[in-house]
Structure 1
């Protein structure tokens, strides 16, 4: 896609469990189906091949529609770093890259999440239009991950997620 720009979204989240436990929640299919782009009761598909070059897929069914998130693992360095691609083909043909890093702390760990978001541009857009689209993409993406990370925190710390947050 020629008319795009890329913006970075970085978020951090603290956990009261070890880094390896949070890292595992990103790779374990049963854990993924409870928090990643889905809720357990709306999850239709949770497929995962957790190795470099392996694919992952989540399909969530909400309000009569399927929402599909797919990607490929680019780097797996347990329990320190995970790099993967992210795509939602029903919305765009763009592919984002996500890096998740884990740092041990005295009480658990801190997860630093960075997503390089590819923002498609429409023909004839001005710089102001591009900036507005970038802000909207970043805000919506940050909100979505915020909800998911709250679910992830509950899952790894208590074994269950209490929806809604």
Structure 2
């Protein structure tokens, strides 16, 4: 794909647990199923071959439809950093890259999340259209990850997620 833009989303989250625990929630299927993508009640599949070159998958089932997120692990440096791809093939052939790094703090750790979001352009788009799409992809991703990270925080700190 040559007709696209790339937008960078950077988010941070503080945790009152050590990085090992948060790192595990990114790669262990039984933990991924509880917070990653949507929620445990709708996530029907969670797979993870946590090795460099290994794959991961989440399938969420809502309103009679399956939504599949997949990717490949590129870097696994426990408990400091992980890098993986993120794809939703039913919607697009784009591949985003997620980099998650952890820094120890006196009360636990800080997680820094960086997503390189590929924004495909449609034929005939002006720069205004491109800018609008880039903002929508960025803001939509930020909202989605923000909700997921709240669940992740509850999971690793309290052992369960309280859904509204």
TM-score, structure 2 normalization: 0.99
Partner of 1:30: 30
Q: Does 1:4 align with 2:4?
A: yes
Deviation at 1:38, TM superposition (A): 2.4
Residue 15 of structure 1 deviates from its aligned partner by: 0.3
Residue in structure 1 matched with residue 13 of structure 2 by the alignment: 13
Secondary structure, counterpart of 1:132 in structure 2: helix
Gaps of 5+ in 2: none
TM-score (norm 1): 0.98
- Alpha-carbon separation, structure 2, partners of 1:124 and 1:132: 14
3-state SS of the aligned residue for 2:143? Answer: helix
Structure 1 partner of 2:141 = 141
Where in structure 1 do 4 or more consecutive aligned residues deviate above 4 Å?
none
**Superposition CA RMSD, Å:** 0.6
> How many matched pairs?
164
**Are the equivalent residues in 2 in contact too, given 1:38–1:58 (CA < 8 A)?**
no
How far apart, CA to CA, are the structure 1 residues paired with 2:100 and 2:5? 22
Whole-angstrom distance in 2 between the partners of 1:45 and 1:154? 21
Instruction: Tell me the equivalent position of 2:55.
Output: 55
Cα distance in 1 for partners of 2:140, 2:5 equals 16
Structure 1 CA distance for aligned equivalents of residues 149 and 95 of structure 2: 21
Tell me which residue corresponds to 1:119. Answer: 119
Q: CA deviation at 1:43?
A: 1.3
- What CA deviation, in whole Å up to 9, does each residue of 1:82-102 have, x standing for no partner? 000000111110000000000
- CA separation in 1, counterparts of 2:106 and 2:63? 42
**Aligned partners of 1:7 and 1:118 also within 8 Å:** yes
Q: Which runs of 5+ in 1 are unaligned?
A: none
The DSSP-based 3-state class of the residue aligned with 1:93 is: coil
